[in-house]
Amino acid sequence: MNHPLRLGRDLALLACAAALAACGCSPAGPPSGGSWEAARRRMVERQLEARGVRDGRVLAAMGRVPRQEFVPERYREWAYEDGPLPIGRGQTISQPYLVAVMTEAVGPRRGQRVLEVGTGSGYQTAVLAELAGEVYTVELLPELAAAAAARLARLGYRNVHVQAGDGYLGWPEEGPFDAVVVTCRVGEVPGPLLEQLRPGGRMVLPVGEAGEMQMLRVLTKGSDGGREVRDLLPVRFVPLRRAGDAGGK
């Protein structure tokens, strides 16, 4: 896959959303002339299918999850735009395309257990929950973890388990996992997460150094503990921070 990352457009969208919200100009209702359902259909067709996402289960899940519920009310008009949006504390909700690509890369199935590192708003969590058996998600910032847990429960996701903690360490008590999704940049694959990945399982994560573009990679763990690595596309994610780091995740 070779899809250019539209950083300029993403940054412009963030700036536009912030400016409109600051002046009280952004409506909280669905996009003009349509419904949230119609906006989701357009998102799936134009942002996902048109750019190479092929897994029908992933496309259907993306068409079901109400992304507008996972962004601050003042940004809801842009919920189905092709870009990230702020969710507070310097964090963002990823653009829909990247959520779909990462989900397709690990291919969660019913009956499987998935670990997510970096809950954020819970949007990626919800997409995984539509497809997997159980989803365990870890968020460093307690306020984001609590808000995501309440939101996911309100939306009816009963197969999600949220924990506030150090995502680098994963959730060893609940492992091993069939898939691991890391939604924040790492310099290298965290050893604890690799240990918690079941042989034959897949991990998707953005790898790169601070201040640089990262590479979104898929790692498949062999039965002998070895790994097969495949690069997907260049991305830019917020860094994974550890417990005790200034500023949190």
User: Long-range pairs for 243-249 at CB < 8 Å and ≥24 separation?
Assistant: 243/140, 243/165, 243/166, 247/90, 248/89, 248/140, 248/141, 249/89, 249/91, 249/118, 249/139, 249/140, 249/141, 249/144, 249/167, 249/184
For the question of residue 94 being annotated catalytic, the response is yes
Active-site option among 32, 94, 121, 223: 94
Active site amino acids:
94
